[in-house]
């Protein structure tokens, strides 16, 4: 089971809750699972490794504990007069389905999975599996999760132990202004073009989706067409993720501190720019910056979304007021400096985070 928004609570949990009994323990669930495997109706549970079933039970307990912790925190937040940030919502766990887009099983060390010398992966009750390795494992894995995505591709995700990977300290710091015309504009004047992966693949996606809509429900041809659509979307998602990884790694490697603006992506996704906003993937990119900064010993700053970064002149600090989106360069009425809207915003993002940056026009690099 996994978190999700549903209206129905599983019968076992609902019955214990209505009777005033505590939530069923891990030991009770494990014993019930063992008993079920001995029955004729549940004999198929013995066809897979017992570790997989125990890991599913552990995931079930984790999901319910998170749900109940959220409900408790929500009650306390309301009792305190709704002061402070509202607890992050966690939905009631729901049953997995064989029709879910993502399927996964996890093997721990107790299952005795092995990475063979030839590069194959030996999984209990499955056998030896050919693996196309993306990198060498730095240490012996403690667990492996086998994932099947909607496109029918299989991935093996290993948990390994690694040492601290802090990078040598560097002097540069940078502010980043995210946008649509340019994916990112940096406070040093550089502009990163927006790849627009979804827009470029729209024609192929449209043809694949049209072909799918013409297939009969339940037919094998419809299943084949569905996989084609899923693979087309997977290629777009993979290209976008690779772009985010390469850019975020370069920014973290070359700068000691990085500052971005906390954009309201949900709000922007309700406008006519929704497709372009989702295509950019700002949230995924800033999430990569944050975890890579923590991993490599860099500083990451996220400034408030209401900071007037596009209204303040980075040369003299005077607030010049809001401007329509079609104005990409403007002249400060106080000092007369001509400013590039996006570069000026990136400089102000860095300064709002307390980073000492020099505007490109102050250094004579650009004036527009």
**Which residues are identified as catalytic?**
177, 261, 342
- Three-state DSSP class for residue 172: coil
How would you write 290-355 as a 3-class SS string?
Answer: HHHHHHCCCEEEEECCCCCCCCECCCCCCECCCCCCCCCEEECCCCCCEEEHHHHHHHHHHHHCCC
Contact by Cβ (8 Å): 343, 313: no
Whether the CB-CB separation of 13 and 23 falls below 8 Å is answered with yes
* Cα separation, 32 vs 159, whole angstroms: 29
The residue among 358, 7, 367 whose CA lies nearest residue 187 is 358
The three-state secondary structure class of 186 is: strand
Q: 126 to each of 31, 46, 100, 231, how far by Cα in Å?
A: 25, 13, 21, 25
Distance CA 342, CA 190 (A): 10
Token pair listed for 97 = 């389905």
For 159, the 3-state DSSP assignment is: strand
Q: Distance from first CA to last CA of the chain, Å, rounded?
A: 55
Helix (H) or strand (E) holding 148: strand 143-148
Contacts for 35 with CB less than 8 Å, ≥ 6 apart: none
């Amino acid at each position: 089971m996994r978190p999700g928004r549903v209206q129905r609570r599983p019968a076992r949990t609902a019955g214990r809750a209505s009777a005033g009994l505590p939530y069923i323990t891990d030991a009770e669930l494990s014993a019930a699972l063992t008993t079920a495997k001995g029955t004729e109706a549940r004999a198929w549970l013995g066809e897979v490794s017992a570790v997989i079933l125990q890991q599913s039970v552990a995931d079930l307990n984790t999901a319910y504990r998170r749900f109940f912790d959220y409900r408790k925190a929500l009650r306390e937040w309301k009792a305190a007069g709704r002061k402070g940030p509202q607890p992050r919502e966690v939905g009631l766990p729901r049953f997995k389905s064989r029709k879910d887009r993502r399927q996964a099983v996890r093997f721990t060390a107790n299952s005795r999975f092995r990475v063979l010398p030839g590069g194959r992966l030996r999984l209990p009750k499955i056998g030896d599996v050919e693996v196309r390795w993306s990198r060498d494992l730095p240490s012996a894995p403690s667990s492996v999760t086998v994932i099947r995505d909607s496109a029918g591709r299989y991935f093996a995700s290993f948990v390994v132990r690694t040492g601290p990977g802090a990078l040598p300290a560097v002097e540069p710091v940078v502010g980043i202004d995210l946008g649509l015309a340019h994916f990112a504009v940096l406070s040093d004047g550089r502009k990163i073009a927006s790849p627009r992966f979804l827009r470029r693949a729209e024609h192929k996606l449209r043809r694949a989706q049209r072909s799918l809509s013409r297939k009969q429900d339940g037919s094998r041809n419809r299943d084949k067409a569905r996989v084609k659509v899923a693979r087309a979307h997977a290629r777009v998602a993979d290209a976008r993720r690779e772009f985010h990884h390469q850019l975020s790694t370069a920014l973290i490697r070359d700068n000691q501190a990085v500052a971005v603006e906390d954009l309201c992506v949900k709000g922007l996704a309700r406008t006519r720019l929704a497709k372009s906003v989702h295509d950019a993937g700002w949230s995924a990119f800033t999430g990569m910056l944050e975890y890579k900064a923590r991993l490599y010993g860099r500083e990451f700053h996220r400034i408030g979304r209401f900071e007037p970064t596009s209204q303040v002149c980075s040369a003299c600090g005077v607030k010049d007021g809001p401007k329509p989106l079609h104005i990409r360069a403007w002249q400060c009425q106080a000092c007369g400096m001509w400013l590039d809207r996006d570069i000026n915003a990136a400089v102000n993002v860095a300064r709002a985070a307390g980073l000492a940056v020099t505007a490109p026009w102050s250094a004579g690099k650009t004036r527009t």
